[in-house]
Structure 1
Amino acid sequence: MNGTNAVLFVSFGGPDKREDVRPFLESVTRGRGIPPERIEEVARHYEAIGGASPINAITNRQAEGLREQLNGTPVYVGNRNWHPFLEVTLREMAAAGIKQAVGFPTAAYRCEASWERYLQAVEAARKKVGPSAPAVTYVGPWFDHPLFIDAIVARIREAHAPANASWIFTAHSIPTPMAEASRYVQELEATAGLVCARFGVQTWTLAYTSRSGAPADPWLGPDVRDEIRAQARQGVNDMLAVPIGFVADHVEVLFDLDVEAQEAAREAGVAFRRARTVGDHPLFIRMIADVVKNPVPSPARGEGRRP
């Protein structure tokens, strides 16, 4: 972190209470042509998990843990879609005299919908702040970082799945053309393979959640519910979901896995459990500290695209 005097923790953000849900969803979907019925559907997902999201609290715990690891280096949190918005955070940093920061977007796997949108959001916010906005460099890839793998392994052990359980790694689905233009799937597969190697697990699957968009448009599959049903038909009786695509237990985990996938498993007559996301596990916090100490030379928009 030579020459750097702060860390910018870049997260998605989420609603803290019921009254925030629809304004938050409007922020997420603004300008993207999402039909109102889809927004209402997602609002009901939040209702099903209690009317709010724990993502902001988890992000704040991650940031606080990082501050402790960095011995007092300032760590600021800025969100793409909810308070504190990136522009507000960057103005606060500028007022504090921060000239240069390392950005840590909370996206382990890089594609246009994740990593690149975080970088675009930071740059858009910097332009609004103006010349006083701190310069931001970014961490390198960490999908295969040993401490990230360690944290996932620890979460799997906490789940106490039976030895014969079928492992299903899960992540957010994205449009197939977007996936083909990036290394998103390859990075997910690399993480899953490294985790399984720690346990000697030879067979595993990768499935997806949170699909949106027009039904006719191709997105990554299989959907985790379809995978559960398919494995049940093959005689599998016990399944473990490992949500490596997310770093916090938010709506895409708490609803898509704990409600929808659990219901699919119940209907199929199979046992289903999931590991927690890495969240604020100390091993993951140590990983963040390690990667922010060694940022890449430039943000390199498009980094992670397939050659």
Structure 2
Amino acid sequence: MAAKAKCDAILMIGFGGPTRADEVRPFLDNVLRGRPIPRERYQEVVHHYDLLGGRSPYNDLTMRQAAALRAELEKKGTRMQVAVGMRNWQPYVADSMRRLANGGARRVLGFIMAAHRSEASFGRYQATVNDALAALGEAAPEVVYPETWHDHPLFTTAVASRAREAYSRLEFPERSRARLIFTAHSIPLAMAQAGPYVEQLTESARIVAAELGIDTWQFAYQSRSGSPRDAWLEPDIKETLRNLDAKTALVVPIGFLCDHVEVLYDLDIEAAQVARDAGIRMERAPTVGDHPLFIEMMASIVAAYAR
């Protein structure tokens, strides 16, 4: 196995989110970047944020993950700067990369906060990093990325642990009859066919289900945002719930690493209402967030690149 390139710092790279109500519209404008989204859909998404207090917890939760990672690295005796950069909101990737470069970092581990790779979840973040490096010119550090970790045993065990938290809210007879449904963000079918996204999601779900001792499970997608004329990954979680041949559903959002708006609204409000209308009890597992095993996984990956 080839030796890992030794790094001075890690940059956790995330989507980003508005931290207060007056940031919601500028944030959405930034995300959309001029794409022709119908005004009704734009207002609908603004309303989603309104229902959740006019902000997203994404930045706060990612900063908690970063703080936990720093503590774990310190415990392991690994010395490395830990920074956070967002693609769509402050702290932007470009600003965080500049601060790392100014602080003397010459090689940075770019840890994109997505377990499953597609153009939307990985490629676009690499492009954002490349733009930041180009802006820095000769002062730019080198950036390397870890290998995929969707099947890392600490990640899948952390997901299984979160699923058990949801199972614990069910009485035993109901627990044994609950249908296990994994979810992830839908993407255009053409994009999915061009990368390993579906294969990696399926592998993660299979490993988690096996750890839970469950043979029968389903996969559904959520949070579609594109033109209805385009083919996206299906089935949608709402249709899955409407057609479910069970009275209890345990939903595990394996494609998300923290409980941001697309989990808190799309699952906890929208999908939960569909389940109630269908006479189904739906329990949603927490995302991995700062679960100790997930943080331990990140630290073990980072340690392999530490000087």
TM-score computed with the length of structure 1 as normaliser: 0.92
Residue of structure 1 equivalent to 2:211: 198
Q: CA deviation at 1:229?
A: 0.6
Residue of structure 2 equivalent to 1:272: 282
Q: Deviations over 1:117-150 (max 9, x none)?
A: 1111111111112221221100110100000011
Residue of structure 1 equivalent to 2:41: 38
Residue of structure 2 equivalent to 1:240: 250
Instruction: Please identify, of 158-167 and 98-107, the stretch whose mean Cα deviation from structure 2 is larger.
Output: 158-167
Q: Deviations over 1:260-300 (max 9, x none)?
A: 000000100110010000001111001111222346xxxxx
* SS in structure 2 of the partner of residue 52 of structure 1: coil
1:24 equivalenced with 2:34 (yes/no)? no
* SS in structure 2 of the partner of residue 177 of structure 1: helix
Q: Is the 8 A contact 1:18 1:51 kept in 2?
A: yes
Distance in 2 (CA, whole Å) between partners of 1:255 and 1:116 is: 26
1:188 corresponds, among 178, 188, 201, to 201
Task: State the AA in 1 paired with 2:20.
Answer: K
Q: CA deviation at 1:39?
A: 2.0
Residue of structure 2 equivalent to 1:299: none
Distance in 2 (CA, whole Å) between partners of 1:164 and 1:51 is: 37
1:173 equivalenced with 2:186 (yes/no)? yes
Q: CA deviation at 1:3?
A: 3.0
Runs of 4+ that moved beyond 3 A: none
Residue of structure 1 equivalent to 2:153: 146
1:208 corresponds, among 206, 221, 226, to 221
1:61 equivalenced with 2:68 (yes/no)? no
Distance in 2 (CA, whole Å) between partners of 1:133 and 1:69 is: 28
Distance in 1 (CA, whole Å) between partners of 2:179 and 2:136 is: 49
Q: Deviations over 1:202-240 (max 9, x none)?
A: 111100111011111100011101000100xx3x11000
1:99 equivalenced with 2:106 (yes/no)? yes
Q: CA deviation at 1:2?
A: 5.5
Q: Deviations over 1:91-140 (max 9, x none)?
A: 11111111111010001111111111111111111111222122110011
1:10 equivalenced with 2:13 (yes/no)? yes
Residue of structure 1 equivalent to 2:177: 164
1:229 corresponds, among 233, 242, 265, to 242
Q: CA deviation at 1:44?
A: 1.2
Distance in 2 (CA, whole Å) between partners of 1:214 and 1:194 is: 33
Percent same amino acid at aligned positions?
A: 49
Instruction: Please identify, of 66-75 and 95-104, the stretch whose mean Cα deviation from structure 2 is larger.
Output: 66-75
Instruction: Show structure 1 runs of 5+ residues with no match.
Output: 296-307
Residue of structure 1 equivalent to 2:294: 284
* SS in structure 2 of the partner of residue 60 of structure 1: helix
1:122 equivalenced with 2:132 (yes/no)? no
1:134 corresponds, among 141, 163, 166, to 141
* SS in structure 2 of the partner of residue 70 of structure 1: helix
Q: CA RMSD in A?
A: 1.2
Instruction: Please identify, of 154-163 and 187-196, the stretch whose mean Cα deviation from structure 2 is larger.
Output: 154-163
Distance in 1 (CA, whole Å) between partners of 2:125 and 2:303 is: 20
Task: State the AA in 1 paired with 2:95.
Answer: V
Instruction: Show structure 2 runs of 5+ residues with no match.
Output: none
Distance in 2 (CA, whole Å) between partners of 1:194 and 1:247 is: 17
Task: State the AA in 2 paired with 1:73.
Answer: M
Q: Deviations over 1:20-57 (max 9, x none)?
A: 11111111110433333322221111112221111111
Distance in 1 (CA, whole Å) between partners of 2:32 and 2:304 is: 34
* SS in structure 1 of the partner of residue 126 of structure 2: helix
How many residues align? The count is 292
Task: State the AA in 1 paired with 2:104.
Answer: G
